[in-house]
Structure 1
Amino acid sequence: MVRLHCPLLFDGECIIANATMQTAAGRIARIGARDDGVGIAFPAGHIVAPGLIDIQVNGGGGVLFNDTPDRATVRRIAAAHARAGTTALLPTFITDAPHGLDAAIDAVRASLAAGDPGILGIHLEGPFLQARRRGIHREDFIAHLAEDDVRRVIALRDAGRTLVTLAPECVAPQHIRALVAGGAIVFAGHTEAPYAGMLDAVARDGVSGVTHLFNAMSQLGPREAGVLGYALLHADLWAGLILDGHHVKRESFEIAWRLRGRNRTILVSDAMSPAGSTQTHFVLQGREISVQGGRCVAEDGTLAGAAITLSDAVRIGIREYGMQASDALYCATRAPARLLGVQAERGCLQAGAHADLIVFDADFQVAAVMQSGRWINAGPAIAPLLELDDAV
């Protein structure tokens, strides 16, 4: 049994002052008002929150999922992000050759079967995209979705969640419906779909969200609202959002926030291999990518994901975009848990949930991380407290 005395605690909905939490056997046993029992007392200003959940993670710890799509890579990426507070994630495989897609699905299936910590499923961002909105994705790998592809994409079935990003205008409606019927969550992304096309894709076919709002999608204009306009007007649509200071300007974020709020807005990292590492350059499918001020860019200036972790996005959202702490945390915990259908056990601090948590200091830097009831990271302010507690 581990007892934690928390000056501030975000339970998945709101921030509570002066709470005590107990964990046992990798689960949360109890949360209540602060008591005087023996335990770990975090310093003033520290906030304890559920472990973060990232639905778009291309890499981390110096490796990319696309480079070597196997279980070892999945584990290394997950471990790097876990140390930064992301205790659950979807490894993300971007547009690539068909054999790479199969290997990625097999790797995640193997990781899920082995019970590797933090793996909830897979995000397939492509290859069924609009070439004109491909961004960093290789055009020669972009493909049309066929019936055989549907069976491959949903191969995880009940083993884990499958999120698919596709361009609705490039995929037959019956194939989108087949993905959804097979258990996949389908988001629109890298798309030039018009507003009316997006309306059909959602109401008729089951598309339920958009990938990296504002980026790689048809924009809002005077005579055509596009995918962006649809997402801004329909707050019941899920929307991933990269708040790294580069992908979205603060003014654009404020417009989206006023229209959408936090309910179905999900912070994502879109992390590449430098996240959680000291790497400053890497190669993505033959293209040299460099890290410049926290963003990843190709030689021609094309954005190629981000170098942040989700805890960075939370801090940047609060410090640079003006988010309330409870809202930023909600969008990185409770919202993605609801999307993935794991809200009873993850993305919240309540009795019975996984003992996954992140401790932030007053500046929203990561001070400590617990995953499945085990401390996996602790900074200098917290480590001595853990060493003194016999239960840890």
Structure 2
Amino acid sequence: MSEILPETAEAGAEATSSRMNMIQAINSALDIMMDRDPNVIVMGEDVGYFGGVFRATAGLQAKHGKTRVFDTPITECGIIGVAVGMGAYGLRPVPEIQFADYIYPALDQLVSEAARLRYRSAGEFTSPITVRSPFGGGIFGGQTHSQSPEGIFTHVSGIKTVIPSTPYDAKGLLIAAIEDNDPVLFFEPKRIYNGPFDGYWDRPTQNWSKHPAGDVPTGYYRIELGKAKVVRAGGALTILAYGTMVHVCTAVVAAAGVDAEIIDLRTLIPLDIETIEASVKKTGRCMIVHEATRTGGFGAELSALVQERCFYHLEAPIERVTGFDTPYPHSLEWAYFPGPVRITEALKKIMKDA
């Protein structure tokens, strides 16, 4: 029988916990790492006195000082360039790009410098930077505040790409990312930043019963990068998702009554292909759901990997449910998201002959 699997404490997690949304969990991770390591630096537009546009860095400057939490000019290329230099010097900078849509001016610094520094220096220098950035839709931000560019960076060798779906995972993964000696892009799905947000969850066809807030250990713990999580056990179908789409898929599957196994990838690069392969070989069917555009999206890579490794176990073609290949719509963003209607149609298609 299918079941929603509970959160399990990671090694090193303290017993004391508190109810947190994702913003609070991220803030806690940054605070703890700045307490533990004097080399951790937080920088970015409005992250200091104001505490960030989403308040993820609120209170950090007052506690840790202006030399460790500071505002930068509006220059994404400069922010990442300075962070790369800091990392090579021995610091562990955590720059924030205010919205993922603004990350493109920093692309050259990320691809040509941060990702290649270890290789180019024969291991003499590393780039231990963690780039935090809100991504995806859900706030009616339009074309310049809603993009999901993760597929671009999963193509780049040398960069790790992490996307949490719960406050618990956000804190543990962010701590692991900051401690990593290579550059990590940490994309935060802003649609689920604030936990139970009825104004966004009670849409006519999108009324989930589970909101992405939860109990989070108040102290230090880490979640290993590159490890997926089975959030719902099942035997008839494997669904691969990450970020907001984990919650969407969980709600739709529950409503549809399908015995689906839902895997939260958590880390796109490095990818936990072993967990994916084991699940698909067990269920014989695979659906991939993500918010980013379809063409060139990370779902295409997932589909290819599943096809290569599980072809003789597949009992139906792999299905993808994604955003559309269009500019991001402002007023129609809830039609753009993969939601109950499109996911249910895909479920019926892939389970047709089951």
TM-score relative to the length of structure 1? 0.27
Whose helix fraction is larger, Structure 1's or Structure 2's?
2
Whose strand fraction is larger, Structure 1's or Structure 2's?
1
TM-score relative to the length of structure 2? 0.29
